[in-house]
Each structure stands twice: as C-alpha cells, then as structure tokens.
Structure 1
C-alpha cells in the first residue's frame, strides 16, 4: 500500500529543553560546531545513525532521553550557553551596520537553488552551493538579505549506480514538516497563499516556507498544496525537471511569486521592503516583470517608466560561460503565459529578444532588467562581455557593462574544525571581515610544520575511512555479495597522496580526461615508491546521456580489481560527502576546457583546508594561482581538434604529477615531514585563504553593487517616481534622434613631427546633434596602443568640453596626453549622457568618428 500523506512526528520537548527548538530551526547549526556538539550529546549513537542531522535526531530521540536531559545540569548549562551565543550572533551589530544610511535597508536575493546543508536538499551543484554560501556570509556580515527560492518536494535526485556503472536517479519524497522550515502564516494562523496567474484562467497557488539561515530568512515557495489543480501541484516537484512549459511555470513562480512572497513576508514581520533585488542567474528574471506590473498599477507609471525604476534597483549575476547554458523559451509560450498578466506583452518580449526571433532569452532579460550585472570571476567577466556583446552593438568588449566579482566560499562551513582550531584563518590585521585591502592569514606561520602536517594526515585518514565505507555500500547496492567485499577494508591508504575530482559532469568539465592514457594512469596509481590515489564524484543531469556515459567509463575503469584500492567513483555527491573530500584531499584536480569554467569554487574549498590545486587556468584559478598554491596545467587552446587538445592537456597532467607533484609530496625530512610541500600548504592557507572567503565576496557585492543600486532605486523613486518618468522620456527622445548623431570632423594640433612622451595632442571635434543638445551627450577622446589594423587597445578616455554651438553643429575639445611610447592612436566617440546611468554604454548606442 502507498501512504496517502507523509508526516514527521517529533517528541514533545520538556519545558526545560525549549531552546532546542530555536537552535534546530536556525540553520546556523550547519556551520557552528558548538551547536552540532550539543545535538550530538542528545544521543551520540542516534547522531551517528542520523548522519549528523539535528532535525532528524530531534525527531527520533526518545521521550525518556529528553526527560533525563531536562534534569541534567551540565547539559542545560551547555544548551543555554549555545542559545545565548545564537542570540548574541543574531542581535549584535556586524560589519554591515557600520555602513550608515547609504546601505539598503533590505535586499532580496533570488536563486533557483540553495545549498545550505544536505538536510535541506534544494540544490544540484555549484550555483546552489554558491547561493547558500552567499546567504551564510551575508548573515555573518549582518547584511539584511532575504533569500527567495522554491521548495522542491523531491529536491534534486539521489544518485546510484547500476551493476554496469550507469547512473540511476532516485527522487526522495520530502516532507516539509520534517525539514528545518516554518510555514509563513497570517495573523489568524492560516497559511499565507501566494497566487500567480496562468493561461486559460488558471491560477498557480503556493505556500511559503521560511528557513532561517543565521540572521537571513530564506523563503521557499511550495505549489504542492490543496488549492491547486494536479498539474499546478507538480510545479515544484523537482529541481531542473520537466519540459519547457513546466520550467516556465517554475520560473514564473520563482520570479513573480517570489516578489509576492517577499511583500507578504515583509508586511507580516515588519521587515523593510527590499530596495535592491538580486537575480542569481536568469531563472529569476521574472521578478523584474512583476515589479514593473506593481508600479504600473500602484503609481500609474507606463511600462517604460516602471522599467527605469525597476532597473535602478536590480542586480543580475550570470554564471554561464556558454550560450547553451542559458534558459530560452519559445516566444509564443511567453506570449501565451503573459497575455493577461498585467504588462503589455509587446513591450515585455523585447526584454528577452535575441538573434533567433522565435526565442525569449532569460539571460538577455536579466541584463536588460538589471542596471548592474556581473560575472563570477575576472576571466568569466571577460567571457561574458564577449558572449553578450551583441546587446551593446558598436562597443568594444571592454565597454560592455558587465563587471566581475569573483565567487567565494563560506569558510566556517567548509574548513575542517581541526584547522580552524589551529588558527589557520587568523590574522594579526584584526577581524578579516573588516580589514580594508589585502588580508594575510599569518596565524598559520606560527604553526609548527610537524603539527600542520600531522593535521593534514589526520584529515586524509578520516577521508580514507569515509571512502572505504562508501565504496563498500556502493558495491552492495550494485549487487556484490558480502563475501566479495573484504578488499574494501584496506582500500585506499592514509599515507598515500590523495587527489580529488568532484563536480557536475557536463562534457566541458572533462571527467575522463585523466583516462586519456589508461596505462600511464594505472602506473601512477600502482607505483611502489610514489603511488597516488584518486577519489572521484559527480552527477550528470538526468537528461544528459553523454554525461552518464562519461560516468560509466570512469566507473568501469575504477572497477578493475588491480586498481580498485587506489581509485573510486563515489555516487551521490552532496554537501556531506564534499566536506570529507575538501578536508582530506592533498590535491584538487580541475581540468575544464578553458575558458568554460565560470569560477570553479570546489578548488577554493580545498584551498581553505590546505589542499593544493592542480588546475587549468580557468575561473578563479586564472587570477589567484601564484606558483606556490599548486600547479597550473598548460592549455592547448590554439589546437582546434578536440581529441588532440585533450591528448596534449592530459599528457601535461601526467607530466606534472610525475615530475613535480609526486616528488614534492614524498620528499620528507628526518622527521617524516615533506617540508617543501608543507610550505606550499602554508602559502595556500596564508595568501589564498583570505581571497576565497565568501565574506570577501559579499562585501564586494555590497560595496560595488548593492549600495549603488539602492542609491539608484531611491533616485528613481523620488518625487513619486518623477525621476523615472523623466528618465524614460529622455531615453525615448534620445533614441528617436540618435540616427542623426555624427562626428563630422576631428582636427588635431600640437602633434609635431616627433611626438614625445609627456607631451599632448589638442583635439577639436565637430559633432552634429540634430534634435539633441550637448547636455544629452558625452563626447570622449579615446586613445591607446594601436595595432597594425588601426585597432585601439588598452584604451583610456577623457571627456571633451563643449565649446560653441551653431544650429545643430557643436564643437568639443580636449587634450590627449602622450603617456606611453610606441604605436599610439586616438579617436572621438559620442554617447548618451544621463546622471542616472551607471555607465555611458547603458543605452547601447554609440557613434564613433
């Protein structure tokens, strides 16, 4: 028989233990060791069997055990101390509270997935883990963030393996009542219901669950409720599942429903309404459309006026380095779903316009709705400016208004406790979260080399035990008999160099690159003097048979009885497994096709634990590899043949392992300490550790994006949105007349026959502005290094001052300084100018001389 409904029944807490309720429902326990210790003390054996899940422990602990603890003075003292520590953490001012009135009172952060803890399986990979770390770091810094996502009743899939190594997917049924969530309720205790209109007069309803992530509230919308018809109940069934129609409804619920959930939450709790809305990838793009609808209805703004108001307070982050990774819907589907939504469809569609006129591009909409946009590493910012450059025709890639903030990871979540207690993340500069400029974790310099190495050995041994447990469990699940599994007790070796490779399995991440020369890899694994061992994990999207074939290829290689004690593919990669890998691996391998890795935060987590990276210079590693924190794998980007490129780069990996990595690891002093290796660990912890912190990342978002966005949003709203109305009118006027703008003539004086550095060129430009005034434009002199085709590089610009006017002709002048030797060139360009624009390229039009 099948249960009609699934429930989680908990023991009733004695009054003396009531603080446990608050502790278990605040997910700070996922990164706070003292809170986890307290829940382990409830019942150590139950803690072990529940996999360290405080929610599950509290749901299964016996009433008798609770009654005993309610009379235990030592447990009660510990509990009250932890509860008081949480209250202090929640109430005390942090870094953000020092910023003053310019900082936004509230920020809404939308993402399709959030990886907070394995107990709340609402994530698939890096995007979700990044979003979870963003919330945690925001909490640590006191940033008033409100997270917005969906509650997937089956989460992402649990991964198994068939006997022949094929990926199997299983979707567990999740009961919200068994998760660390609270239902958002009206004052009369009824559930808040959010509604989103659908075609044919249908309506999508959702309840809102609240997860508390330290100081940050995360709102998760759930459509599996009685108010919905069966089709609508299934909208939040699983992460990244279903066809186009299903995905569109999910993204409408996330964007449109998410804004409505935020409005309800703020109204009920007295939280300030957000001034800034941050869309983490294009999935959340419809939040801007809903806010446009709100303003047209509440303030009588036109679509274009509301668009200006919404843009000012919107931040858009792209994580996608390839066009194939962008959500695109048939334009006809958008027309059908938004026909009666409340915004003119003919004005909505251009927001998602792209080269294919039949498609609606969610990333393009995110960029057009967000006045501020960014990639997630410096290299990814460059890639994004190239990839989306067509949205700003006439501009060089460097002028495309997409900045870059390199991702970070939440150190308390991902760093081994033993390393934190040693002081590997301490600095003589003060609180790292508040230091201006570069931070160095110089506390690691005070740790004895033998102690540091001993801790690394301890963490590797812990990983080996976990690998043995998982290898045995996987073999049983694939049909092996108990009598066949004696070898698993000695699989892997706590004293052997251990390399980790764990991530999603799309083709560009090249899971099987290491298998390019199987014989050579086998020789490295089995070397009698300098062996290595490999721990591999990762999930392929359920619809990606190519990725599943790569997993199967890896599993079959690892099944070889000759090497299975040195290499393992561990299924069901999640946060729980990841911690062991980051703690225990000596080297983190990453070999994507450059430049297709947007950031690659897994290597950051390894670095926080003293792991050395062995990586293609892509994503974050391209900017923070320093020659001491690991090894850079040479790339063969100029090789067009993919097989040949794979061959060249695989050989580079083997060579690095054989000639540099393995010798350095196994070269030890009289005390058995690999001193040169330990110095690399020390450098990684001291120099790389501070850079990869999520607190650094969130500070960058606050200072570079959130504070300016809040200022722009306030400016647009001034005087009953008068600024938004005037800006929309001005933009329309400029674009209508832009076709007539022309640089008619440029003359230069003061050049001389032999220009010398330190001199200057006086430029005077005649510009035709029919229908416009000099106040409508910015005229710039652009200059820099010039190539053989007269292309300008390393460009610098200076504004040209208006001199005189004669009808529609205007003269502008400036002096261009000669600050460099060699080939030099200059030109003049005209751009629209508004005090409300974040960058001159914002309108997407330019006239060059």
Structure 2
C-alpha cells in the first residue's frame, strides 16, 4: 500500500539518511525509550533538526512503553506498564508492509512524529506498529513492550525494525543515501538490503557471490555501543530459519554473523563501510574485541537546548547569544560573571530540592553540597561503590556534610540490579542520621534534567572498561556541574583533574579493586574541602566544566563528524 504523494512531498522530497534505533526518547509522555541509548537517539534527532540535516528516523512504537517504576517502603522495585496512545500524539501513515514471520506475513503499519527545531528544521520519525487488525493477537503484541518478552519475541521485534523499517521507507518512496544503525538491534536491515540488491541469477558466474556486498556496505554506517561480547544480541539459527524461512540464506548468514549463532553486531560489522565506537577509549576496546575491523571513534554528545536548565538557558542567552546551535561559543564561559553562574546554579538546585521533596518527602539543605547519581541500576554501573565502607562514608559525612540523590531503573529481568536498589535503600536507613539521601522513582527525561542541573557534583562509578561512553556527566556539564568519575568512556577525554572535575582511580582495569578507596580520598581530601573552603575556586571549576566539556561534548559536534566522515565520505 503506497503512501499519498502529498505526504511524500511534505516530508521526503530529498534523499535522506535513515537512522534506525530500537529506542528513541522523543518527549516526555512518549515512553519509547529505556535509558541512555534512547536519549542519545533523541538528541541525535533534535540536533539533525537544528542543523537541517536530511535525516529520517525509524523505531518501534512500543505502545506499552518500557515500564513505570514504583518503589515499595522496603526498596522493592515494582514495575507497571506505561501505556500510551500513539493516535493522540502522532499521525498514522497509510503505508503498510509485510515481513516474514514463521511462514506467514505480519503486517507493519506506521505512525509519523515530526520533531521541529526552534530554527524551523524538521526531522520525521517513523514508529513501526504491528497492532493492526490484519494480524493475529500474538503478532499484534510484537511492538507493545520495549525489550520485553523472550528470545523469540526479541528477534521478531528486530525483524520488524530492520526488515520492516527498510521496506516501509521503500513503500513511502523515501530515497535513502545512507543507513545508520544505532547499535546492532537493526542489523537485519543490512541483511534485507543484501537480499534486495542480489544480482540476477543469470548474471552470477559459478563460484561468484549472488550478493552485491560492496553496494550494501557503501550504504551502511554502524555505531556500536557494547564493549563486551556478552552484551551483544545473539540468536540461534534454528530460531532465525523458523522465523525468516526462505529469507534466511544460512551459509551466507553464518559467514557474516558467526558460525554458532546469529550475532547482530557481527552482521552489522560485516555489512557496514563505516563503523564507530562512541568514545576514543571505547573504539580501542572494540578494536581489540573485533580484530581485523577498523573501528573509528566519534565520541557521543548531548543536545544543548534540551539539557541546559532554564536558569542556565537565561545565563547563556544573556552572554553567549547563539550558544544552543553553536555550542562552541560556550568556550567563552570562563568569562561569565561568577555571581551570575552561582545564581543560576542556586535556582536549579532549589528546583531539584523541591522535586525531591514532592517525590520522596525528603528535605534537603541548599547550603550543603549534593552528589548526584542516576544510571541504569545494574552491576557494572556500581551504584553501590560509594557504600562499600559505611564507617568510612559516615566519617566523611560527619566531617564534610553532604547529601546524595540517586535514581535509576533495573531491567525487570535483572534481579541483581533490583537487589542493588534494595541495598541502597537499606544503606539510606542506616546512614540517615548523618547523610541525607533520596532515591527518586520512575527516572525519566524530566527527572534527569532536574538532577543533572541541580546537584553540585556528578558521580559516576562504572567498572572499567564497560562504560562505552556515558552521557549523564555531559548533561551535568551544560549546567556547570563537575564530575567525580571513574576514568572510562567519555570521561577519559573530558577529565582535567581539579579543572573539569576529579578522577576516581586511574584508567587501568587492574585499579578497579581500589576505586572505593580513591573515591573516599577524593571526596574527603579534595572535592568537599574545595566546595566549603574555596568558593571562588569552585565557581572557576564550574565555569571550566562548561567551557571545556559542554562546548565539545555535544551532539552538534557529533553530528558534524557523522555527516562529514560517515554520511558524505
């Protein structure tokens, strides 16, 4: 079924980059994301609109969202569906396509969301949906839950995203000059392209491949976010052949995606001309993980207009006109008036304190420093590192009073992650007499902005080298908040000791065992004494954080590099 010509002229009247991502954070109230990958995808789209780049994004509609998080009085995470109605926020397109699924056709319809920049640039986002009357009840549920269900459910979702997304663009008549796969979830897109551009049988000589590998690779860009093989999507070939049927050419698939199982990362690597990691350190780790592949580095960024709080918006607008679309102007932040920087941060801090009071009933003191930590609650993020030695932490808080605000969700199937939340809740009770703490439930974009702008120090403690990039500290930097972070991901590039923040440990994996001791030392000997005893120096660190980190770690710089090095090369 073809899309109307008026719609095509309105949105797809020129060649596009097609950006595929399993999750995209479009806006609060549209729960089509779970965390950092989706936030990055959303910031990518917002920046493409700012820069008037011809980009169209493809994702899943995820009608029942990821989940809403409730915390019991005992610290138990309780998951609730987070349904939304796409018909209330989006426009339904008339195009529909079919994808192969266990010997039958599953129909995929689509919804259109248009992100409009304040500069009048527009990026269309197509959300794929199998919840239509022509499908069985089982198939209608395939695009309900983000990262939900079992292995078969997940593979079918990736069929819908990669194969269905490619076919939907074709049905819409969108001319695509580059496909960008944001992580391996959409790698079946490249396989569908390979099938699409197969040579006619009469043109294939004996011993030659039937597929135009060069053409497909020239069309594909792949960004990997996973620094360990265990985190890559893998599916047994029995499931692949059962689902795809004749579309699964196993000898070729095995040569591209691995002998034992279909490895989506391997498939994307082998069918992409341009491959990149999301930080310099991550590219080095990925090159070791995938020997023989050239893995370039384009370090992530965040969208300036989205992640600067209202007080800092006003500050920048007064002194650095045009900063939101030309964030390199923030290099001049070193010359911002100290008093105005402190006032802007005070406003953001008071807003966070009010948010904490409303959501948890905890009263925080604006005169005392607040540490912030908000990540996906899982073991390698080490949200409990600060609590490794409770006696030591108690002694530090007694000498240098501070407060702590945390947030984050554990995946519903991640029991160790849920235990971490319970353990943090227990620590809050034990330390309540000396260390005021709050855990904000149901972490989302609105909560994230309040946190990254309202705390005084941003804490990040992943296990090296498992942090591919991380972007929460970048968001904090746009609000003058320095990081206290393990040297991994982006922080290896952004860290200047005592200038943009402080390092926890060093960059060697062998130092992981001493990270807690390093964290306690930095807090008690450098960070907190500086906050209390050297307010002018602290303000200087805030300004350096903006000038040196926010001016560089933004999606405008990131997208310029994608455009020149991947899309147009």
Q: TM above 0.5, one fold?
A: yes
Q: Per the alignment, do residues 678 and 558 of structure 1 end up closer, same or farther by CA in structure 2, a change over 3 Å counting?
A: same
Q: Deviations over 1:808-831 (max 9, x none)?
A: xxxxxxxxxxxxxxxxxxxxxxxx
Q: How far did 1:307 drift?
A: 2.3
Determine if the alignment matches structure 1 residue 570 to structure 2 residue 440.
yes
What is the match of residue 622 of structure 1? 492
**Residue pair 1:525, 1:566 contacting (<8 A) in 2 also:** no
Q: Which deviates more, 201-210 or 127-136?
A: 201-210
How many Å separate the matches in 2 of 1:151 and 1:600? 25
User: Is structure 2 residue 55 aligned with structure 1 residue 145?
Assistant: yes
1:451 maps to 2:340: yes
3-state DSSP of counterpart to 1:626: coil
| Larger CA deviation: 517-526 vs 213-222 | 517-526
Aligned to 1:423: 316
Higher relative contact order (CA 8 A, sep 6+): 2
Residue by residue, what CA displacement relative to the aligned partner does 1:440-498 show, whole Å, maximum 9, x if unpaired? 524434432122112211211111110111113xxxxxxxxxxxxxxx4xx11111101
Distance in 2 between residues matched to 1:560 and 1:118, nearest whole Å = 35
Hey, what does 1:744 align to over in structure 2?
Answer: none
> Could you tell me whether the CA contact under 8 Å between 2:311 and 2:345 is conserved in 1?
no
SS at match of 2:212: helix
**Conserved in 2, the CA contact under 8 Å of 1:105 and 1:274?**
yes
Q: Would the alpha carbon gap of residues 164 and 543 (structure 1) be closer, same or farther in structure 2, given more than 3 Å must change?
A: same
Cross-structure match for 2:109: 207
Which of the residues 525, 539, 543 maps onto 1:659? 525
Give 2:187's match in structure 1, choosing from 246, 266, 285: 285
The aligned runs of 1:172-251 (5 Å cut-off) are 172-178=82-88, 180-185=89-94, 192-199=95-102, 201-214=103-116, 215-251=122-158
Aligned counterparts, 1:691-706, within 5 A: 691-706=552-567
| Compared CA separation, residues 323 and 133, structure 1 to 2 (3 A) | same
Tell me which residue corresponds to 1:602. Answer: 472
Which of 428, 441, 445 is equivalent to 1:558? 428
TM-score (normalizing by structure 1):
0.62
Partner Cα distance (1:663, 1:159) in 2: 36
2:395 to 523, 532, 543: 523
Taking structure 2 as the reference length, the TM-score comes to 0.92
Question: What CA distance in whole angstroms lies between the structure 2 residues aligned with 1:638 and 1:296?
Answer: 45
Deviation of 1:258 (Å):
0.3
- The answer for the alignment partner of 2:164 in structure 1 is 257
Q: State the alpha-carbon separation in 1 of the partners of residues 201 and 20 from structure 2.
A: 25
CA distance in 1, matches of 2:80, 2:257: 35
- Residue 327 and residue 547 in structure 1: after superposition, are their counterparts in 2 closer, same or farther (change >3 A)? same
In the TM superposition, residue 300 of structure 1 has moved relative to its aligned partner by: 7.8
> Quick one: which of 329, 337, 350 aligns to 2:243?
337
SS of equivalent residue, structure 1 residue 557: helix
Structure of higher CA gyration radius = 1
Q: Aligned ranges for residues 728-807 of structure 1 at < 5 Å?
A: none
Match of 2:451 among 581, 586, 591: 581
Q: Deviations over 1:704-739 (max 9, x none)?
A: 11102xxxxxxxxxxxxxxxxxxxxxxxxxxxxxxx
> RMSD over aligned Cα, in angstroms?
2.3
Q: CA deviation at 1:525?
A: 3.4
C-alpha distance in structure 2 between counterparts of 1:582 and 1:165, whole Å:
23
CA distance in 2, matches of 1:334, 1:184: 29
> Judging changes above 3 Å, is the alpha-carbon distance between structure 1 residues 423 and 362 closer, same or farther for their aligned structure 2 residues?
same
**Is the CA contact 1:276–1:314 (under 8 Å) kept in the aligned structure 2?**
yes
Q: Distance in 1 between matches of 2:139 and 2:22?
A: 18
Give the count of matched residue pairs: 548
**Which residue in 2 is equivalent to 1:413?**
306
Give structure 2 stretches of 5+ with no counterpart. Answer: 1-9, 117-121
Query: Given that residues 636 and 649 in structure 1 are in contact (C-alpha distance below 8 angstroms), is that contact kept between their aligned partners in structure 2?
Result: no
Aligned to 1:688: 549
- How far off is 1:163 after superposition? 2.9
Which residue does 2:371 correspond to in 1? 499
1:538 maps onto 2:408 in alignment: yes
Alpha-carbon distance between aligned partners in 2 of 1:570 and 1:431, rounded to the nearest angstrom: 31
Query: Structure 1 residues 250 and 426, CA, compared in 2 at 3 Å: closer, same or farther?
Result: farther
Q: Which moved more, 1:298-307 or 1:163-172?
A: 298-307
- 1:246 and 1:297 map into 2 onto residues whose CA distance is 32
Local SS of the residue matching 1:117? coil
The match for 1:347 is 252
